[in-house]
Amino acid sequence: MQLLSTANVHLKEIGDQRGLARCSVSMGMLLHLLDCYEEALHQFEQAKAIFDALDDEDSAAHCIQSMGDSQYVLHRYTEAEEKFEEAKSALEGAGNHRRAAQCMRELGSLLLMQSRYDEAMERLEEAQTTFDKMGDRLDRAMCARSVSDVLFMTGRYDEAAIKLVEAQTTLDELGDERGSTTCAQRLGEILRMTGYFEPAMAQSREAKARFDRRREEVRVQLCHSISLFNEIGVPVQVRECSAILGEVERTAVGRRSLGIPA
């Protein structure tokens, strides 16, 4: 964050408006990842204002979508819905149909959170149709996973399981282990609820194994980042990475203390 703040000041001094807007977007994304959603929203708003002045419709639309993401996690669902709809229209106008469909998928997830199941299904199916036409297998799989959530919440467990298997198969083929693990966990929940206990346990064991591999990858990457930031002398990032690493390790210890395999 310190490096981005320094870059932001320099870009202001030399009058590079486009560079300044991109820097604000990067700061907003980082702040969002650090759970600083209000600050992230402010950065996205600043970037959008600059892109608007530059008549860069596509970049401005991306900012609107990011603003919707921040509003979503702040539980401001009405504002988030408005931003996703606005971003979708702007992206379609700019010819960016893939991002427009992603906005529609996010809107579907938002409607699901509000128990507006019919509307959620309509948005998700619309997004899935677009991804099908574009041959975008990853986004289509993510849509299928969200559709399964709607089916699950409306008691259509068999259909939800079929959608999850479809999504998990694609994500496995694409090497998205994190997404595939999520599908395995949800499929295990459905199997337990419908009385298929043995298959459910198998799914749970598979999901745990995937989670363990993922956690070890994160731990290794964090240790590498800490070493790198130490070498280049960026103490703020060292502290941030160390704090995250501590949280990962505390989670494993906490699971063991409860008798849950870490």
Dump pLDDT digits (tens) for 182-228. 888 888 788 777 764 444 445 455 555 555 555 566 666 667 666 66
Range of the domain at 58: 1-95
Number of domains within the chain: 3
What distance, in Å, lies between the first and last C-alpha atoms of the chain?
A: 32
Greater pLDDT, 13 or 6 = 6
Position 262 in a domain:
no
Residue 260 lies in a domain: no
Residue 27 lies in a domain: yes
Q: What is the pLDDT of residue 94?
A: 86
Dump pLDDT digits (tens) for 25-59: 888 888 888 888 999 999 999 999 999 999 999 89
> CATH number of the domain that 49 lies in?
1.25.40.10
The set of residues, in sequence order, having a beta carbon less than 8 Å from that of 159 and lying 6+ positions away, is 148, 151
